[in-house]
Structure formats: structure tokens, C-alpha cells
């Protein structure tokens, strides 16, 4: 049986596309294929040419610079959403950052500066973007973010980012509880390791990628396309009964404690 998702007449904002490998782009591709109108935000002008390349020739798309930690940028971005779309149906938060210094050393040595940076960029911005989106979101609207299993289990070198992802998952539940009355759902997609720019900054990522594939029940890692498909499910009416959840798309690797062969 095939399920066709028709999102014509729907609108989305995708935050955090650095290039074609970004998970935000894998999600945007599914939204665009379903006929959704999509606006994009990028952190700095440095990234604009990459995004422009992806958007060339596509209809109903626009982009604007916004550092998610800067309140004025968010005010301007959501002002643009209102101007372009009038309302918003879907918000995709695909943003994370931790200074490399916080991931190279021991977790016990995490500085307050690195802690604050990682948790502000990677978790608090879900709260602030949801606050800006709330007046524009209609009933049936949906918010997703991207998380990783290092929130639940220790993953070597993930350090403060594991704590930030735990905060993101908890924030998802609090937002879901508050926004549910207005018919707005909030979930987070827990993706297995994927080869993106953000992943490259994690020391030993290559080894982690190989080991996750080897121990996963499916014998491989999940793909960005599979992240996109789960996200489409959660954003659209297909996921209408799901809110406040951390939903895994990792070829099952998170269920394994060890593999003997």
C-alpha cells in the first residue's frame, strides 16, 4: 500500500540547512515533494550560496538569515513568515552546536561557557523559536527538532552535547503539554549517525558511524531520506495522535546493548 501525502496549501519553516547533506534538507525535500511551501533560515551569510544552489528553480521557496540565538533575528524571521505565508503549519528545528573544545576533552572539564553555548544553541532555541512561531501556528500545526541517543546513554566524546540533547527532549515534552490545547504537536526525531558537517566536528565520528551500522538490527545506519520520511509523518496529519515524543530512526541501533558476533 502506498500513502501519498498532499501538503498543498500548507506552509513550513526549516531552520538549519547548511548544505545538501544537512538533515534539515532531507526533511525539506520531503515537504517540497508533498507540495508544501517552504521558507528557510540560515545562520550566517557564509551559508547562503550553498542554500541558494539547493533552492534554484524551485517555486514557493524563500530564505532569510537568522541566528537562532539572536532575539531580533527571530523577530525579523517570523515577521517574514507572516509576510510570505500569513500563517505557519510546520516548524523544523535542525540546529545544534557545541564548541569542539567541549567534545575533545573529558566531560568533567566542561567550562560554563561551553555548557551555556551548547545548551543555548542546541536546546533553548527550540523554546524561543516555538514562542515566536506560536501566534502563527494553526490548529493541526506541528513542530519537530532533531536529537540523538547520547541524551539517554553515554556516547564517548559527545559530552555536553548529550546533556543538550537531553534538555531538548525534555523541552519537547513541556512544549507539547503547553501547545497541545491549541492543536499543535511537538516531537523530536532521534536520528542515528549521519555524515553531515555537524557530525564531522565530533571526534571519532567515523568509528562511531561504522560501529553503529555493525550493531544495528538492520545491519546498516538509517539514511537522511529515512529521517525525512519520519519527519514528514510526524509533521503531517499522518502523525496526528503523536506529541511530546522522541521517535527513533536509527535502523534500531539504540535498542542493542551489545552484539556477540
Could you list the residues known to form a binding site for substrate, using ranges. Answer: 98
Q: Which residue positions form the known binding site for NAD(+)?
A: 16, 43, 95, 165
CA-to-CA distance for 16 and 19, rounded, in angstroms? 9
CA-to-CA distance for 8 and 10, rounded, in angstroms? 5
C-alpha cell at 24: 534539515
CA-to-CA distance for 158 and 107, rounded, in angstroms? 9
Q: How far is the CB of 185 from ligand NAP (least distance, A)?
A: 19
Compute CA 194 distance to the chain's CA centroid, rounded to the nearest angstrom: 13
The residue annotated as part of the active site, out of 42, 90, 124, 148, is: 148
Query: Closer CB to ligand NAP, residue 70 or residue 242?
Result: 70
C-alpha cell at 146: 532533531
Q: For residue 90, give every residue at least 6 positions away whose Cβ sits within 8 Å of its Cβ, in sequence order, or none.
A: 10, 11, 12, 13, 31, 36, 141, 142, 143, 144, 235
Q: How far is the CB of 191 from ligand NAP (least distance, A)?
A: 4
Q: How far is the CB of 47 from ligand NAP (least distance, A)?
A: 5
Q: Which residue positions form the known binding site?
A: 16, 43, 95, 98, 165
Strand order in the sheet with 137-147: 61-65, 37-42, 11-15, 88-93, 137-147, 185-191, 246-249
- 42 is a catalytic site residue: no
Query: Closer CB to ligand NAP, residue 183 or residue 213?
Result: 213
Query: Closer CB to ligand NAP, residue 40 or residue 233?
Result: 40
Q: How far is the CB of 254 from ligand NAP (least distance, A)?
A: 11
C-alpha cell at 72: 531580533
Q: How far is the CB of 120 from ligand NAP (least distance, A)?
A: 8
Kindly list the residues in this chain that would bind ligand NAP in the complex (CB under 6 A).
16-18, 22-24, 43-44, 47, 67-69, 94-97, 121, 146-148, 191, 193-194, 196-199
The residue annotated as part of the active site, out of 42, 158, 174, 248, is: 158
> Is there a contact between 127 and 93 (Cβ–Cβ < 8 Å)?
no
Query: Closer CB to ligand NAP, residue 85 or residue 158?
Result: 158
- 90 is a catalytic site residue: no
Query: Closer CB to ligand NAP, residue 94 or residue 253?
Result: 94
Q: For residue 28, give every residue at least 6 positions away whose Cβ sits within 8 Å of its Cβ, in sequence order, or none.
A: 12, 14, 17, 38, 40, 92
> Is there a contact between 47 and 66 (Cβ–Cβ < 8 Å)?
no
Nearest to residue 19, comparing CAs of 41, 48, 51?
A: 51
Active site residues: 148, 158
Amino acid at each position: 500500500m502506498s500513502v501519498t501525502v498532499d501538503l498543498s496549501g500548507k506552509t513550513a519553516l526549516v531552520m538549519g540547512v547548511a548544505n545538501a547533506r544537512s538533515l534539515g534538507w532531507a526533511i525539506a525535500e520531503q515537504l517540497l515533494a508533498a507540495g508544501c511551501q517552504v521558507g528557510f533560515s540560515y545562520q550566517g551569510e557564509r551559508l547562503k550560496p550553498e542554500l541558494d544552489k539547493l533552492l534554484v528553480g524551485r517555486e514557493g521557496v524563500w530564505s532569510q538569515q537568522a541566528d537562532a540565538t539572536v532575539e531580533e533575528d527571530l523577530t525579523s524571521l517570523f515577521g517574514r513568515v507572516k509576510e510570505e505565508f500569513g500563517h505557519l503549519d510546520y516548524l523544523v528545528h535542525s540546529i545544534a552546536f557545541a564548541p569542539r573544545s567541549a567534545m575533545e576533552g573529558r566531560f568533567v572539564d566542561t567550562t560554563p561557557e561551553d555548557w551555556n553555548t551548547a545548551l543555548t544553541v542546541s536546546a533553548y532555541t527550540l523554546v524561543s523559536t516555538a514562542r515566536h512561531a506560536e501566534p502563527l501556528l494553526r490548529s493541526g500545526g506541528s513542530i519537530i527538532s532533531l536529537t540523538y541517543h547520547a541524551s539517554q546513554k553515554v556516547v564517548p566524546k559527545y559530552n555536553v552535547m548529550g546533556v543538550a540533547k537531553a534538555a531538548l527532549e525534555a523541552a519537547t515534552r513541556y512544549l507539547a503539554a503547553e501547545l497541545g490545547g491549541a492543536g499543535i504537536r511537538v516531537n523530536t526525531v532521534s536520528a542515528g549517525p549521519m555524515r553531515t558537517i555537524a557530525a564531522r566536528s565530533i571526534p571519532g565520528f567515523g568509528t562511531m558511524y561504522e560501529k553503529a551500522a555493525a550493531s544495528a538490527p538492520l545491519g546498516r545506519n538509517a539514511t537522511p531520506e529515512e529521517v525525512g520520511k519520519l519527519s514528514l509523518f510526524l509533521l503531517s496529519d499522518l502523525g496526528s495522535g503523536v506529541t511530546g515524543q522522541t521517535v527513533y530512526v536509527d535502523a534500531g541501533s539504540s535498542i542493542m546493548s551489545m552484539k556477540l558476533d
